[in-house]
Chain A
Amino acid sequence: MNDKNIERHTIALLVDNEPGVLARVIGLFSGRGYNIESLTVAETDPYEKLSRITVVTTGTPMVIEQIKAQLDRLVPVHKVSDLTMVGPHVERELALVKVAGTGEKRVESLRIADIFRAKVIDSTIGSFVFEITGSTEKIDAFIKLMEPLGLIEVSRTGVVAIARGDKGL
């Protein structure tokens, strides 16, 4: 297998919300040497007790095929959908970004936050916590701009994604 044509795929899984299911998914990635770029999980159907896992991974087309087949083989996995393959979809991340500073730097951080439509959700005399949502690239860009302005800490959710149009998973 060559290292060329590495692709980034966003895969959505519907799984039984039971103990150990996340360990099964993660164990499969680590055990077989696949990459996890980001992973999010939460219960999405409380009646059927189903959780949705969104995983962003990279690999050659053959490896991506393997990942999907291996995931589908796990007993508590109901559905595997490669959103990157299925067609247009939207991806969002949420990040909480803490910036500390005074004077011009503090004002500048607020100005940039405004441009990025980030919200201030906590404020002290010397710090802000911004809430920002958007694509991974947008959040990366925001964090980069905050670095010289007193970036202290970042907490990110990882990617959640959903296909466009009127069809469900």
Chain B
Amino acid sequence: MSNAIPPAEQSGAEVLLRALKDQGVDVIFGYPGGAVLPIYDALYQQNSIRHILVRQEGGAVHAAEGYARSTGKVGVVLVTSGPGATNTVTGLTDALMDSVPIICLTGQVPTHLIGNDAFQEADTTGITRPCTKHNYLVKDSSQLARIIHEAFHVARSGRPGPVVIDLPKDILINKAPYVAPEEVRHKSYNPRVKADPDRIAEAVDLIAKAKRPLFYCGGGVINSGPRASELLTQFVRMTGFPCTLTLMGLGAFPASDPLFLGMVGMHGTYEANLAMHGCDVMIAVGARFDDRVTGKLSAFSPNSKKIHIDIDPSSINKNVHVNVPIVGDVAHVLEDIIALWKRRNCKPDGKALSEWWAQIDQWRARECLKYRQDDKIIKPQYAIQRLYELTKDRDTYITTEVGQHQMWAAQFYKFEKPNRWMTSGGLGTMGYGLPAAMGVQIAHPDALVIDIAGEASILMNIQELSTIAQYRLPVKAFILNNQYMGMVRQWQELLHGGRYSESYTAALPDFVKLAEAFHCVGLRARTVAELDDVIKEMIETDRPVVADIVVDEKENCFPMIPSGAAHNEMLLGPEDKAAKPTSEEGMVLV
């Protein structure tokens, strides 16, 4: 970076928009207020950046997350000071946990008022420090452009994450110089993408010798870009090894491939979890050994050697000790592994592998996702299966809220490609799905975007229906309505003696009328016979639709690894529950 500061000709707000434009931003999600009025004034006088007016700032962050995760680009949020900024905290934490690149521009009171408890003042950098990858308070106009470019670099490189830029009002009004993105280099933050070749060689040795191998892949594959998913698919098929995905990884490997074992973890498939438990070589790719995946740590995959590919060194050896840690970007690492595999002409141990597959096929034969659908009350699983069948040939993107419906969506909706599945995995944010779907639809105007929702979750950000109506976004909200916070009810049933404390929602709104009040189309299915027609009508309607699917109130989500249990202690269905009471140690876990 040259030391000469160029002349300041534009206001800070104009410099900000110019920097955003140079960073390739074409849309921002926001809500105006006093401290950011100069930015809104500058927005009014230009045409290159589109602003989407949300109904609450929390919705803006989730919308930006949906936008970012379905495109691989950085999502941008613009909010005012004080409550505008504090409302973004949940979304920022969500983006931090799920590694979503977000730039959140927050207004701030003028620099001379900072610390004076001014109107709509909050210590935004203090509040957001633990829930962002990094944050900035701009105190000097000459640094404004540099900070914006640097923030984009931090948000999108390495393990992506949210970055807050706090902008005092005087900085937005005063003249500021502009510097182009190319002129900004960060001194200390330049994450490594290429891995150590020695580690690559160790990994290839281990993979070639494996007798009961398993690929365990997560959201890091998707964050690395579509090329990473292609390379992963290529390598898995080359080896013929089984592959399981985490909740965040769905779509990184085609679900229709016979090598795919389904999702792993608390509500993962029987075969995936038992393969995790029984494998001798685990190849973890962009997955972070989350507690929802590992179950009881001391009993987690006890006899396997573990290879762990991750761009974030702090993810390695955090929960589980691994034998071959590989720090690098998934696509780069897989490229190197495949090249070495080919160069050495490696062949997997065919005999051992076919024995391993015979074992896996036995587990598969248990059909752990089986449920009984009668001809009347709609089972939630059936609703998602029908939704999948009727939408699979279209250009479809799925978002979810959090709870049972989310797990059923993960189990029954099959993803063939990355960036098609947007869910709140790490933080588990109810209310994520509707605004996220909005962001996805903005990025993909012609695609079919469906929020698979629960009736409790969707109410947490239902106001965004108003945004959806304003921009004529044909988002579909597919509500599995069981009148309960289903996952809470399920835990109360299994762990708290069926005492359903506060998990039933009395006086739910009439979702059909609610949809109409928000200028959307409302549909309802009460019986199996009505279901397909409602789904078809929902898909065919070129407007926002809220489909209220009345499902079985008492259905539980299985298989399930209870808290504190190991992978080989799964509950496969309701008849399993009495057999193994949850330990006290397990009860304290969430």
Q: Which A positions have Cβ atoms within 8 angstroms of B?
A: 16, 19-20, 23-24, 27, 31, 62, 65-66, 69-70, 72-78
Contacts and interface: CB of A to CB of B under 8 A. Distances in A.
Given A16-B188, A20-B125, A62-B317, 16 more contacts: A16-B187, A19-B137, A27-B130, A31-B130, A62-B321, A66-B317, A66-B318, A69-B318, A72-B313, A72-B314, A73-B312, A75-B186, A75-B188, A75-B189, A76-B188, A77-B188
A131 B481 CA distance: 72
7 contacts: A16-B188, A20-B125, A31-B130, A69-B318, A70-B314, A78-B187, A78-B188
B316 A69 contact: yes
Given A75-B189, A78-B188, A20 B317 contact: no
B420 interface: no
A75 B314 contact: no
B126 interface: yes
Given A62-B321, A78-B187, A73 B314 contact: yes
A20 B129 contact: yes
5 closest Cβ pairs, A-B complex? A69-B314, A75-B134, A78-B188, A69-B313, A75-B189
Contacts of B316: 69
Contacts of A76: 188
Contacts of B267: none
Interface in B130-181: 130, 133-135, 137, 154
B299 to A, nearest CB: 15
A153 B186 CA distance: 45
Contacts of B135: 20
Contact of A75 (B125, B133, B313, B321): B133
Contacts of B129: 20, 23-24, 27
A24 B314 CA distance: 16
A146 B13 CA distance: 62
Given A19-B137, A20-B129, A23-B129, A65 B188 contact: no
A124 to B, nearest CB: 39
Interface of B: 125-126, 129-130, 133-135, 137, 154, 186-189, 312-314, 316-318, 321
A78 B137 CA distance: 20
Contacts of B130: 27, 31
A26 to B, nearest CB: 10
A24 B189 CA distance: 15
Nearest to A23: B129
A92 to B, nearest CB: 27
A16 B130 CA distance: 18
Nearest to B159: A73
A156 B187 CA distance: 33
A74 B158 CA distance: 12
Nearest to B125: A20
A72 B314 CA distance: 9
Nearest to B191: A73
A23 B312 CA distance: 22
B255 to A, nearest CB: 33
Nearest to B186: A75
Contacts of A74: 134
B311 to A, nearest CB: 11
A133 B384 CA distance: 70
